[in-house]
């Protein structure tokens, strides 16, 4: 029995030894190639899946960031418009002075790369604690409530203009300014901006008159009032403690005609040989604005690309003999604007134009504001436009603003091709009622 067990154990041991010898030979080259191929396929699939996730996340982040910026720009414009006392319609913004408008006396009138879209007068309040810079002082930290005190020899904001708690004794100030928003498209001179379109803002501000703390014009040597300043700006025998911006002139409502005609009669200081030299620079409000050219049918809904449908139609003719103006009062009619682009001196009813620009097809006439490149009649951009309701009516003026951006430009800043389909566009609009008032002092 013992011999049989020994023989069986020996056979098993030899078999295990032979098996170990066979296993020590490893994988064949073919087996390694097959395994490598399978691993490569798996890695490629995983990388493709991961790349797709990362790209989708990148696109969603760009779209979300662009949407946030569009909404922020609309909120900024809405806040700006809330103190508007008058908003110019297309009659003024798209026509030169000779045609009854103001286009050629606005800032950047000679630059066809900047199209004025939204132009309005606003009334701004400067609270007593607001810091400003006086015309003859290098220190920009004067408080508005200290401007009316004779403290030049003592320095900025001395104790004689403050209450016990440190607040200024003087009052706040109101001043008017002319605000203009433009759609700009040009080759940027620096790498800060994309090669898409941009919305820029320019504000021309009035000054602050040199008054006593009680608001009366300061006579020479009056007790408690600042002395008459050196020669600076003198307008209607009023000297300024903060000068108006170069080119600023107040609107004049004493002229003839209706309120619209009076505002359209505004001219810059020094007209016709005026200059904006030294005026504040414009500021970029929004980059990555879509620059897809206008194509026929966007105004009427017949365009093949519905992603860039325009929500308010082109300005249309109002017959001069009509007893009732058929106006797109709430700026919500997608098929019609109001008024026409052509100038008809004998038919003033045709001048009530609400949508700006009234037409998005360029003209070879360089005096028309909707141009964005000289001498070429083609489609311009529909990505920033407004519709002015209650046109020509002060204190009841409202505007609806549309903005369309293209997030693809954020991903590829120098891209020259825009698909401009609905997947790449981010849109937004807002309606604002101007609530500014005329001639209400602090």
For residue 83, is it within any domain?
yes
Q: Using the Cα atoms of residue 220, residue 224, residue 227 and residue 229 in order, give the sign of their dihedral.
A: negative
Contacts of 288 by beta carbon, 8 Å cutoff, 6+ apart = 66, 69, 194, 196, 405, 406, 407, 409, 410
Contact in structure between 121 and 218 (CB atoms under 8 Å): no
For residue 342, is it within any domain?
yes
CA distance to 148, 169, 224, 412, per residue, from 144 (Å): 8, 10, 16, 46
DSSP sequence for 348-386: GGGG---EESS--B--S-TT-TT-SSTT--SB-B-SEEE
pLDDT tens across 423-440, in order?
788 889 998 887 766 654
CA distance to 108, 241, 441, per residue, from 217 (Å): 35, 12, 14
For residue 212, is it within any domain?
no
Q: How far is CA 311 from the centre of its chain?
A: 19
Averaged pLDDT for residues 342-351: 67
Residues 127, 262: Cα–Cα separation, whole Å? 30
145 backbone dihedrals φ, ψ, rounded to 5°: -70, -5
Q: Is the pLDDT of residue 364 over 70?
A: no
Mean of the per-residue pLDDT values of the chain: 76
Question: Nearest 10 degrees: CA dihedral of 327, 328, 330, 334?
Answer: 170
Number of domains in the chain: 1
pLDDT tens across 39-90, in order?
888 888 888 877 777 777 788 888 899 999 999 999 999 999 988 889 998 8
pLDDT at 321: 63
User: Which residues are paired to 126 by β-bridges?
Assistant: 173
For residue 376, is it within any domain?
yes
Contacts of 436 by beta carbon, 8 Å cutoff, 6+ apart = 82, 83, 84, 85, 121, 122, 123, 395
Of the chain, the percentage scoring pLDDT greater than 90 comes to: 16
Confidence bin at 121 (pLDDT 50/70/90): very high
pLDDT tens across 195-207, in order?
788 999 999 999 8
Confidence bin at 181 (pLDDT 50/70/90): very high
Q: Is the pLDDT of residue 25 over 70?
A: no
Run of H or E residues at 64: helix 29-81
288 backbone dihedrals φ, ψ, rounded to 5°: 65, 25
Three-class secondary structure of residue 98 per DSSP:
helix
The encoded tokens of residue 292 equal 């897809």
CA distance to 34, 36, 227, 257, 343, per residue, from 346 (Å): 88, 85, 53, 15, 9
Three-class secondary structure of residue 93 per DSSP:
helix
Residue 7: left (phi > 0), alpha (psi -120 to 50), or beta? Answer: alpha
pLDDT tens across 301-332, in order?
677 666 677 888 888 777 666 656 667 777 87
For residue 409, is it within any domain?
yes
Closest CA to 267 of 250, 255, 244: 250
For residue 100, is it within any domain?
yes
For residue 270, is it within any domain?
no
pLDDT at 332: 78
Structure pTM?
A: 0.80
User: Which residues are paired to 402 by β-bridges?
Assistant: 385, 429
For residue 128, is it within any domain?
no
Residues 168, 141: Cα–Cα separation, whole Å? 13
> Domain span at residue 367?
54-111+291-433
């Amino acid at each position: 029995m013992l011999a049989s067990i020994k023989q069986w154990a020996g056979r098993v041991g030899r078999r295990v030894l032979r098996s170990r010898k066979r296993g020590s030979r490893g994988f064949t080259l073919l087996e390694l190639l097959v395994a490598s191929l399978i691993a490569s396929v798996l890695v490629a699939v995983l990388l493709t899946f991961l790349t797709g996730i990362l790209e989708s996340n990148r696109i969603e982040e760009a779209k979300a960031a662009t949407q946030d910026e569009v909404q922020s720009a609309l909120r900024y414009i809405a806040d700006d418009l809330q103190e508007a006392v008058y908003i110019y319609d297309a009659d003024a913004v798209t026509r030169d002075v000779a045609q009854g408008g103001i286009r050629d006396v606005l800032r950047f009138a000679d630059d066809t790369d900047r199209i004025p879209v939204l132009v309005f007068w606003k009334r701004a309040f400067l609270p007593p604690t607001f810091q400003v810079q006086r015309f003859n002082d290098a220190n920009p930290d004067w408080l508005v409530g200290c401007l009316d005190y004779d403290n030049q020899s003592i320095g900025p904001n001395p104790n004689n203009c403050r209450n016990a708690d440190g607040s200024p004794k003087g009052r706040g100030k109101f001043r008017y300014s002319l605000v203009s928003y433009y759609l700009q498209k040009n080759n940027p001179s620096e790498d800060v901006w994309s090669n898409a379109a941009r919305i820029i803002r320019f504000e021309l501000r009035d000054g602050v008159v040199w008054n006593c703390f009680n608001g009366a014009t300061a006579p020479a040597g009056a007790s408690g009032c600042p002395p008459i300043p050196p020669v600076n700006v003198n307008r209607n025998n009023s000297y300024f403690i903060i000068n108006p911006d170069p080119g600023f002139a107040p609107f004049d409502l004493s002229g003839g005609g209706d309120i619209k005609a009076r505002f359209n009669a505004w001219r810059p200081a020094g007209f016709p040989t005026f200059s904006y030299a030294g005026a504040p620079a414009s500021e970029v409000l929004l980059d990555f604005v879509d620059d897809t050219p206008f194509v026929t049918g966007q105004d009427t809904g017949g365009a093949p690309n519905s992603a860039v449908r325009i929500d308010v139609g082109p300005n249309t003719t109002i017959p001069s003999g009509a007893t009732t103006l058929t106006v797109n009062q709430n700026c919500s009619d997608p098929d019609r604007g109001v008024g026409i682009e052509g100038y008809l001196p004998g038919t003033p009813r045709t001048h009530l134009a609400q949508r700006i620009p009234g037409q998005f097809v360029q003209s070879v006439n360089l005096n028309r504001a909707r141009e964005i490149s000289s001498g070429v009649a083609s489609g311009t951009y529909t990505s920033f436009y407004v519709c002015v309701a209650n046109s020509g009516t002060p204190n009841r003026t409202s505007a609806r603003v549309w903005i369309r951006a293209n997030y693809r430009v954020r991903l590829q800043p120098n891209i020259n091709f825009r698909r401009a389909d609905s997947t790449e566009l981010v849109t937004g609009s807002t309606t604002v009622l101007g609530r500014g008032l005329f001639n209400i002092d602090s």
